[in-house]
Amino acid sequence: MISDERKKELLFPFDVVRDEQNKLLLLTDACIKSKRNLLVHAPTGLGKTAATLAPALHQAIEQDKTVLFLTSRHTQHQIAIDTLKAIKQKYNVDASAVSIIGKKWMCTQPGVDKLYSGDFADYCKKLREEKKCNFYTNIRQNMTKLTVNGTNALKVINSRGPLSTEEVIDHCRLQEMCPYEMSLAMATKAKVIITDYYYLFHPNIGDNFLTRIGKEMENLIVIVDEAHNLPYRLKDLASEFLTTTVIQRAMKEAKKYGYDNTLQTLQELKDLLETLAQGLAIGKEKTISRQVFENPLNDSYDFDQLIEDFNAIADAIRELQKTSYLGSIANFLEKWQGQDDGFVRIVSYKKGMREPFVSLSYRCLDPSVVSSDVINGTHSTILMSGTLLPTQMYKSLLGVEDVQEVAFKNPFPKKNRINLVVPKTTTKFTQRSETQYKNIATQISQMTNK
């Protein structure tokens, strides 16, 4: 067990260090110090957050780095903030931190919670460019400079930190300032940034985020919480879909606002998707090439010009109703031109709520095409989860190099565990359904209520 002096050096904020937690604490410090990556299977209850965040902050202070704590769970944001508060209180060190969730969920403009993420991004951009968002103009003169009031508000918030996202939103709402922009301003000086996976791994958002907060990839110490989710999240982030349903909604949109010339183009696009799906039964799919979709469109249109036209009309429509299905189509067409390596293009015929529809997708199959350069470009990345076995599989899936793989034992005695077999339900893939899920939930509820 480490000494009190070593515990102080590593900024561990609690009086007792558990046996397995002690090993993770030292291992995390050693890996960061030697600029190596770490892949950790550590069962729930071991105390992973404190065992990784404390030494990461220690090394960030020592080496002038920034800790990026990535998690898909909002509750984990609060646990990380509470850990940093405990560190600051116990050792009086610079534990400055900011918790950032999705920009849409931090926005205080009325009605934005009903927008799709892509539509929100375009709506927000439009308001900022036209200086119609008071929350933004109250805090920023431009992308790089705060207003006087924004600078003063930032000083007040920093003096009270570390704060949760909700606390920052509440403070900014009172000041009529944008919570997201305030959080970005906080992030430029923060030693720890707690946020979602996509702020680092999203192909477009990641680079822009680091540029906005003035951070270089090689100066980041990254902790990925619940890392078993990362491969699936990355595949979703890199995939795009277009359906005949979306095209039909775009046609209604174009007709509503008088874009009659666009109606014909959209009808041809819908006809093309239906042609590609000919012969498919409902629930079936097949792979296609990039050219099979692109070439028929290029016969009548310039593909790049088509994207520009859709984007321009979408911008005009968002002036009137915030959202635009044409913008979603333009986004898909842009992504469709992406690389083939690690991706597949699929046309599907699916059962809809009212009628069947065709779906065309550009799907990421290999998450390492998104993650490998990012993970291996950081100072050090710690990937941890209670379900990260076999570690070799996740190393391969994510393309992690120069990595130490460790599996820790369950910290709880086996005698404390109760194993129950419930023959009334099953998780077998072929029997999964809404009814089965409800049965499982009912059985769990009945047991816990006892």
Please determine, for residue 114, whether its predicted confidence score (pLDDT) is greater than 90: no
Q: What is the pLDDT of residue 82?
A: 94
Where residue 73 falls among pLDDT bands split at 50, 70, 90?
Answer: confident
Nearest residue to 385 via CA among 59, 23, 24, 2: 24
359 φ, ψ (degrees, to nearest 5): -125, 130
Whether 58 and 402 have beta carbons less than 8 Å apart is answered as: no
The torsion region of residue 8 among left (phi > 0), alpha (psi -120 to 50) and beta comes to alpha
How do residues 324-340 score in pLDDT, each as one tens digit?
899 999 999 999 999 99
How do residues 398-435 score in pLDDT, each as one tens digit?
999 999 999 998 888 889 888 888 888 999 999 999 99
Give how far Cα 66 sits from Cα of 188, 201, 210, 444, Å: 10, 16, 11, 42
Mean pLDDT of 52-77: 94
Helix (H, G, I), strand (E, B) or coil at 399: coil
Q: What is the pLDDT of residue 72?
A: 85
Side chain identity at 148, as an amino acid letter? V
Side chain identity at 31, as an amino acid letter? C
Side chain identity at 76, as an amino acid letter? Q
Token reading at 186: 């906080």
Element (H, E) at 48: helix 48-63
Please determine, for residue 215, whether its predicted confidence score (pLDDT) is greater than 90: yes
User: What residues have CB less than 8 Å from 66, skipping those under 6 apart?
Assistant: 60, 190, 191, 192, 193, 215, 219, 220, 221
Nearest residue to 386 via CA among 88, 23, 41: 41
How do residues 357-411 score in pLDDT, each as one tens digit?
999 999 999 999 999 999 999 999 999 999 999 999 999 999 999 999 999 988 8
d(CA 48, CA 259): 56
Mean pLDDT of 186-211: 93
Mean pLDDT of 264-275: 95
Rounded to the nearest integer, the mean pLDDT of the chain is 93
How do residues 280-300 score in pLDDT, each as one tens digit?
999 999 999 999 999 999 888
Token reading at 34: 């030697």
Helix (H, G, I), strand (E, B) or coil at 326: helix
Mean pLDDT of 200-219: 92
Token reading at 315: 């911008």
Q: What is the pLDDT of residue 44?
A: 85
**Residue 16: other Cβ atoms inside 10 A:** 9
Report the relative pairing of strands 66-70 and 284-287 from DSSP bridges.
unpaired
Token reading at 336: 């469709």
Whether 175 and 133 have beta carbons less than 8 Å apart is answered as: no
Write the DSSP string, 241-295: EEEHHHHHHHHHHHHHTT-HHHHHHHHHHHHHHHHHTTTPPTTEEEE--HHHHHH
263 by Cβ neighbours in 10 Å (0-12 / 13-18 / 19+) ranks as middle
d(CA 168, CA 186): 10
Token reading at 248: 């039909």
d(CA 353, CA 171): 43
Whether 11 and 29 have beta carbons less than 8 Å apart is answered as: no
d(CA 342, CA 65): 32
Report the relative pairing of strands 343-350 and 284-287 from DSSP bridges.
antiparallel
Helix (H, G, I), strand (E, B) or coil at 137: helix
d(CA 24, CA 16): 14
d(CA 303, CA 328): 15
> What radius of gyration, in Å, describes the C-alpha atoms of the chain?
25
Whether 288 and 276 have beta carbons less than 8 Å apart is answered as: yes
Side chain identity at 224, as an amino acid letter? V
Percent of the chain with pLDDT over 70: 100
Where residue 136 falls among pLDDT bands split at 50, 70, 90?
Answer: very high
Q: What is the pLDDT of residue 143?
A: 84
Give how far Cα 202 sits from Cα of 199, 230, 295, Å: 6, 12, 29
364 φ, ψ (degrees, to nearest 5): -85, 125
